[in-house]
């Protein structure tokens, strides 16, 4: 079983924030792959379904970003999963807007959702990093991530979410590099170079 967790903050006031792109991705996957209706369990909204030939538990932790690992850890222990059965989708300041990379393990780069997840299950989970860009000054980061996407950012957000949903089954089968390349091909301009290395 794959545990696929999109990170974000619950509630309408946060729904379109940059920090919530993990929730947006989870919703896109939920709609595309015919998952069961969302229900509350493990301090999260969860939905069960299948992608490819395997079972998948889709999750949106309702513990707020800083405690995301609580929900992920509860579900992982209940289903007796290993950290590499867990994929976390999250916003990434260190990637340009509209870029995506997949990584296994590593640090948390100041991301509180990743920090909480690593504290609860260890660092060796898989990460889908969706670039939102950096405001250019670390003092502006908090306001930047907890602010709605600009209107013109919809030009990359909608194709990105569609491509993630279309290709999410590859994550379930462990084909992380292929997933990353398919998303890149679906969203790239002609001037972009292929993303052919997981974790870069």
Cβ atoms within 10 Å, residue 125: 27
Which one is catalytic: 17, 19, 90, 184? Answer: 19
Q: Number of helices and strands (H, E) in the chain?
A: 7, 7
For 133-178, what is the HEC assignment? CCCCCHHHHHHHHCCECCHHHHHHHHHHHHHHHHHCHHHHCCCHHH
Residue pair 172/56 in contact by the 8 Å Cβ criterion: yes
Q: How far apart are CA 151 and CA 11, in angstroms?
A: 20
Clarify whether 19 is annotated catalytic.
yes
Active site amino acids: 19
């Amino acid at each position: 079983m794959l545990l696929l967790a999109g990170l974000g903050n619950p509630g309408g006031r946060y729904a379109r924030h940059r920090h919530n792109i993990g929730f947006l991705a989870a919703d896109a996957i939920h709609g595309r792959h015919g998952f069961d209706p969302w229900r509350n369990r493990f301090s999260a909204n969860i939905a069960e379904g299948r992608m490819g030939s395997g079972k998948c538990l889709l999750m949106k932790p309702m513990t707020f970003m800083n405690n995301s690992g609580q929900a992920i850890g509860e579900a992982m222990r209940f289903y007796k999963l290993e950290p590499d059965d867990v994929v976390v989708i999250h916003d990434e300041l260190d990637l340009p807007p509209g870029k995506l990379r997949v990584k296994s393990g590593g640090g948390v780069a100041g991301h509180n959702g990743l920090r909480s997840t690593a504290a609860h299950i260890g660092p060796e989970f898989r990460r889908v990093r969706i670039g939102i860009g950096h405001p250019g000054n670390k003092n502006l980061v908090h306001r930047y991530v907890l602010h709605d996407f600009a209107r013109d950012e919809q030009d990359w957000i909608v194709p990105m979410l569609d491509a993630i949903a279309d290709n999410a089954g590859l994550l379930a089968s462990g084909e992380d590099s292929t997933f990353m390349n398919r998303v890149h091909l679906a969203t790239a301009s002609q001037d972009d170079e292929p993303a052919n290395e997981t974790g870069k």
